Amino acid sequence: MPGSQIDARPMHNPETLVGQDIAVKIVKLNRRRGNVVVSRKAALEEESTARKVAMICCR
């Protein structure tokens, strides 16, 4: 995972996530090269948007 895709804000110590299960979203997949790029940032933003929509719709 690229450092820029770890969080919405710069993370000074990304090593704190090592060994943890985290939600990520696949942003790029190259089957020929066997390369996958994932983003925790995209997963967090998607979750945040879903919560906002739920709050607006359920009022």
Reading the block at residue 55, the tokens are 């709050």
pLDDT in tens, 1-52: 898 999 988 888 889 999 999 999 999 999 999 999 999 999 999 999 999 9
Report in angstroms the alpha-carbon separations of 42 from 32, 47, 52.
Answer: 24, 9, 15
**C-alpha–C-alpha distance, residues 36 and 18, integer Å:** 18
SS3 label, residue 23: coil
Number of domains the chain contains: 1
Give the range of the structural domain holding residue 8, as residue numbers without chain letter. Answer: 3-57
pLDDT at residue 48 in the model: 93
